[in-house]
Amino acid sequence: MSDSVIIMGPTAVGKSGIAVDVAEKLNGEIVSADSMQIYRGLDIGTAKPPAELLARIPHHMIDVADPEGGYSVAKYRREAGAAVRGVMSRGRTPVIAGGTGLYLHSLLFDMDFGSAKGDAPARAEWERAAEERGKEYVYALLEERSPDAAKRIHPNNLHRVIRALERVSADGGAEGSGVYRPFGFDLRRGGLIDPAIFLLTRDRPELVRRIDERVDGMVKGGLAQEAERLMKLDLPIGRIAGLGIGYREMIGYLRGEYGRDEAIELIKIHTRRYAKRQMTWFKRYGEAQVINLSHTSDSEAVAEITKKLSPHNLI
C-alpha cells in the first residue's frame, strides 16, 4: 500500500491542474517538488500555479526561500519531509507534484548529505543547473570563472567540472584533489515516503507547442520586468543559473547582449532541452505508471490516478 502520491512530468505537461484535482479527490494537500517555485518574488519565470489553484488546495514548498540565498537538496528533503509528515498528521494524503528530479530523489531515497565533502549547498546549485540546462552550460560557467581549470577538464566530466567550480568559488583556485561523490551525497534505498508514482507525458510535438505557448505567455505576463528586479539584486551568474531557465536569457537581453526575439527563442530552446533531460531522468523510476495526456483527457487521467489510490488503498 502507498502512503502518498507522486505526480511528476516534464515542464508544461500539465502537472499543476491535475495535481489539484487529484488532491481534491483524495482529501490531500500538495507538496511541490520544483526547484524554482521555492523562491519568493519569482512567479512568472517559474510558472507557479495560478492563484485559483493555490486557493483550492493547500500547497507546501512554494515561496519558502529568497533568491539571494542558496537552497540545497538537503534542505529541501528536510523541509519537504516535515511538510509531508504534517499532511499525514492531519489525516490527509500528500500529493507530491513537480519535475525536479533531485528533489523527488531526495524523498524516495535515503541520502546521507552529511558524508559529502566540500560545499554541499553550492554543489547542489551546479547539479541543479546541469540537470536543467545541461552539462555544457555548467562547463561554460567554469570557463568564465577559471579558463585554466576548464582547459584541464573534459566538458563531459561533470563531476570534475563541479568540483572545480567549488574550488574556484571557495578560494579562487583551480581544481583540487580528492574524490568527488556522484550527486554529492551517499545514496541508499529507503526514503521518507512510499508513494504511488505517476508520470505525465505528452507526444513531443504537443509538448513543444505547450512549452512555446508557455514562454510566450511568460513574456506577455511580465518576465522582463521580473528579470529586471532580479538584476537589481546583483546576483552572481551561478545563482541566476540556479533560479531557472528564462531569467539569464532575459537578463542578457536587458543588458544588450542580444535582441528580445533572440532571448525568447533561447528560452524556448533551453526549456525544450530541459524537458528532454527531465524525461531521461524519470525513466529511472521503472515503477511509475505513465499517463500520456495526448491520448487521454485530464479528467480521465485524474480518474485513473484516483481509482488506484482510493482511501482503502492508502496506508
Would you say 126 and 162 are in contact if contact means Cβ atoms under 8 Å apart?
yes
One domain for residues 151 and 216:
no
Burial tier of 151 (Cβ tally within 10 Å: 0-12, 13-18, 19+): exposed
C-beta contacts of 231-236 below 8 A and 24+ residues apart: 233/67, 233/68, 235/67, 235/68
Indicate if the alpha-carbon torsion angle 148, 151, 152, 156 is positive or negative: positive
The last residue of a domain, from among 184, 207, 226: 184
The CATH number of the domain holding residue 78 is: 3.40.50.300
One domain for residues 178 and 192:
no
* DSSP 8-state code for residue 61: S
One domain for residues 131 and 226:
no
Distance CA 272, CA 250 (A): 17
One domain for residues 274 and 300:
yes
The last residue of a domain, from among 155, 184, 213: 184
The last residue of a domain, from among 165, 184, 203: 184
Check residue 138 and give its pLDDT. 82
Count of structural domains within the chain: 2
Record the cell numbers describing residue 211, joined without a space: 512549452
pTM of the model: 0.80
User: Which tens digits make up the pLDDT trace of 181-229?
Assistant: 334 455 555 678 889 999 999 999 999 999 999 999 999 999 999 999 9
Place of cell 579562487: 172
One domain for residues 25 and 75:
yes
Beta carbons within 8 Å of 98's beta carbon, 6+ residues apart: 8, 15, 32, 33, 34, 37, 104
Q: Per residue in 288-308, is it b (16+ CB within 10 Å) or e — as a string?
A: beebebeeeeeeebbeebbee
One domain for residues 48 and 197:
yes
One domain for residues 82 and 147:
no
Would you say 60 and 50 are in contact if contact means Cβ atoms under 8 Å apart?
no
One domain for residues 121 and 143:
yes
Per-residue pLDDT of the chain (315 residues; tens, 9 = 90+): 688 999 999 999 999 999 999 999 999 999 999 999 999 999 999 999 999 999 999 999 999 999 887 788 889 999 999 999 999 999 999 999 999 998 998 999 877 665 445 556 667 777 777 777 777 778 877 877 777 777 778 777 888 888 888 776 654 433 332 223 334 455 555 678 889 999 999 999 999 999 999 999 999 999 999 999 998 888 876 677 667 899 989 999 999 999 999 999 999 999 999 999 999 989 889 999 999 999 999 999 999 999 877 654 555
- Domain span at residue 289? 4-113+187-313
One domain for residues 197 and 299:
yes
Beta carbons within 8 Å of 213's beta carbon, 6+ residues apart: none
One domain for residues 108 and 26:
yes
One domain for residues 262 and 199:
yes
The CATH number of the domain holding residue 161 is: 1.10.20.140
Would you say 166 and 122 are in contact if contact means Cβ atoms under 8 Å apart?
yes
One domain for residues 207 and 301:
yes
